[in-house]
Amino acid sequence: MKKTIFLILFCLLAFSSPAMAKISVGDYVVNDEQVYIIKGYLYNLTSRNAVVPNNLKAYAPHIVNSVVWIDEKQVSSQVFNLKTTNNNNSIIILNAIQNINSLTAGNLPQSIVEAVLASWNNLGSRVLIETTNQTLSLKLSPFSIYSTKHLVYRYNL
């Protein structure tokens, strides 16, 4: 069974209620868990400890804006189709979905893929967006009373 959780989740989207959905990819509705996975993936790209090419680091402000954008759209009353919404944020999110799907369709053992998706889901569910008039920051909410908030990325607006 090479199909992984993320791929299965997208297949199960047909059963989700469209009234609760705020983001779609074509006819598929993206649920909250999938948004968390996407946010966790994007969070990893902007993390200080991330192993990413230097040219990707230049895109970090755009990636942070995409996390803010998808967070705002997920709580909006309007449904946004990523394929018809033509802006940088939707393009980055579509690329993230494509990269996540590539991971799930690859040759990695399913247990590893499930662990990575669970990690991204955990991170994405904890991402906090903090804005001031001069900066935009992504932080993680603590998942226990012993954890501290971790500043991931900050840039001047």
pLDDT at 26 over 90: no
Residue 24 lies in a domain: yes
**pLDDT band at residue 13, thresholds of 50, 70 and 90?**
very low
| Residue 151 pLDDT | 47
pTM of the model: 0.74
Q: CA angle, 71 as apex, 69 and 73 as ends, to 5°?
A: 70
Residue 144 lies in a domain: no
Residue 146 lies in a domain: no
Q: What does the block give as tokens for 65?
A: 């804006």
Residue 147 lies in a domain: no
3-state SS class at 101: helix
Q: Which residues of 54-75 are buried (b: 16+ CB within 10 A; e: fewer)?
A: eeeeeebbebbbbbbbbbebbe
Query: How many domains are contained in the chain?
Result: 1
Residue 156 lies in a domain: no
Residue 145 lies in a domain: no
Residue ranges of alpha helices (H) inside the chain are 5-11, 32-46, 54-57, 60-74, 88-105, 110-126
Radius of gyration (C-alpha) of the chain in whole angstroms:
16
Q: Percent of the chain, pLDDT > 70?
A: 69
Q: Percent of the chain, pLDDT > 90?
A: 24
pLDDT at 51 over 70: no
The mean pLDDT of 66-87, rounded to a whole number, is 88
Alpha-carbon span 39 to 23, nearest angstrom: 13
Residue 73 lies in a domain: yes
Q: What is the pLDDT of residues 90-121, one digit of tens each?
A: 999 999 999 999 988 888 899 999 999 999 99
pLDDT at 155 over 60: no
The pLDDT mean for the chain works out to: 76
Residue 154 lies in a domain: no
**Which amino acid does the sequence have at 78?**
Q
Domain carrying residue 95: 5-126
Strand pairing report for 28-30 and 23-25: antiparallel
